[in-house]
Chains A and B, each alone.
Chain A
Amino acid sequence: MSDDRTLHVEVVTPDGQVYAGEVAMVVLPGVDGELGILPRHQPLVTLLGIGETRIRTIDDDWEYIATGIGYAQVLFDKVLVVVDHGELAGAIDIERAEEAYRRAQERMKESGDLSARAEVDYFRAEQALKRAENRLSVAKRRR
């Protein structure tokens, strides 16, 4: 059970839970900017974009998680983060992320002309680029 000074956080993805524990603070990548959640926060539901979820642990350490699209729900000192992907900074395969980044960039260049098909490809490549970028920037956080 959590006392007044901690939050219970769970990060849930389609591949299972990637994080669960009692923490001091959570910073969420909301679609309209970052949101810092401290214990005794008001009930909140927010839409999350691709970004970095930061967790301040009770031992005053930071945990970084690259998270995808989804939502976060804050209720009675419990933060439920439900996102379509989530990787702890330490678990990110940097080589793979760099490879994905390069591929996405190439694809964006290739779909230069403006047929409907190419637009779709462009959008998808852009999304892939964002995800790869996010993974790389979160991976840099690890010591």
Chain B
Amino acid sequence: MATLRDIRRRIASVQNTRKITKAMEMVAAAKLRRNQARIEALRPYARDMIEMMEDLATYSEEAHRYELLHEREVHTVAVVAMTGDRGLAGAFNANVVRKAMAIERDLRAQDVDTRVLAVGRKGIGTLTFRGCRLERHWQGLSDRPQYSDAKTIAKELIEMYLRGDVDRVRLVYNQFTSPIEQTLMDDVILPVPREAVTDGGDRQPVSYIYEPAPEVILEGLLPAYVEIAVYRALLESSASEQGARMSAMRNASEAAEEMIGSLTLALNRARQAAITQEILEVVAGAEALG
């Protein structure tokens, strides 16, 4: 039977753990808000950029061949797994890694070559441990992703694609649905999906002066589509990570609360038993004397 001292020590230890999980929950909540603001800030830029691409596609020559839009026969696929740099976020990181590996297996079964890339320390660690050779990896971005980080990643992916090392790039990441829910996404970002930048619909025709020609402008702007896709995924993934951590830590805090409750009960019982024991001893002693 646990002594009073043992129980007190355990209660103190669980209380300390609860303090930490509570603090982590609050930090995650604050970071989540900051992240959501950044997703909001990106929206106008992404909208304007994509609308302009649609306009340009409408006014450029049909026959023009854009390397980044051109669908090739798929021999090699790059799978980019986007995780966080830290753990303690429930199944957040594991889900991405599992999905990426399932996709890779599927592709191999269809005789398609794969290249695996990873963003985030957790994904890098797990994938390497499972014997995956990583073509390229990045870390240190998940806490505060910057547009320039997305640019660097997008640039390398575009280069791989243009060199012909890969014929398609798929991005696996968590999309932020709500603080307690993440949706696993698997998006093709290269070649740039044609309908994403050409579905202009019927917009009022304005005769613009294009400087240089619309084809050249669109060519120059297409990398921005990949950058926006990567940046949005980085922000979504980061927001999801904070959301996942928030709920994981809330669960941990609740579990700690419960444990403290049952330990306190055990403590009280043990204390009462000790007091009863003492009274019995005193009474027995008094009787022996009398």
Contacts and interface: CB of A to CB of B under 8 A. Distances in A.
Given A43-B206, A45-B211, A47-B220, A14 B155 contact: no
Interface in A1-57: 12-17, 30-32, 35, 42-47
Contacts of B152: 124
Contact of A45 (B41, B46, B52): B52
B48 A12 contact: yes
A62 interface: no
Contacts of B216: 47
A45 B208 contact: yes
A76 to B, nearest CB: 9
B224 interface: yes
Contacts of A16: 41, 44
A82 B56 CA distance: 15
A97 B57 CA distance: 36
Interface string A58-100: 0000000000011101010000101011000000000000000
Contacts of A116: 163
B147 A14 contact: yes
B221 to A, nearest CB: 6
A31 B220 CA distance: 10
B115 interface: no
Interface string B204-227: 001111111010110011001001
A45 B221 contact: no
Given A14-B42, A15-B41, A35-B211, A71 B52 contact: yes
A84 B151 contact: yes
Contact of B48 (A42, A69, A80, A85): A80
A84 B44 contact: no
A46 B212 CA distance: 7
A47 B206 CA distance: 18
B250 interface: no
Contact of A69 (B44, B46, B56, B220): B220
Given A12-B45, A14-B231, A69-B220, A47 B155 contact: no
B257 interface: no
A12 B71 CA distance: 31
B104 to A, nearest CB: 24
B228 interface: yes
A30 B206 CA distance: 21
Given A14-B231, A71-B217, A42 B212 contact: no
B49 interface: yes
A42 B209 contact: yes
A85 B146 CA distance: 11
The 3 closest A-B pairs by CB, nearest first: A16-B41, A14-B147, A46-B211
Given A46-B210, A85-B147, A85-B148, 12 more contacts: A14-B147, A15-B42, A45-B210, A45-B211, A47-B216, A70-B49, A73-B52, A75-B206, A84-B147, A116-B163, A120-B159, A124-B155
17 contacts: A12-B48, A14-B46, A14-B147, A15-B38, A31-B212, A42-B209, A43-B209, A45-B209, A45-B214, A45-B217, A47-B211, A47-B221, A70-B221, A71-B49, A85-B147, A116-B163, A124-B155
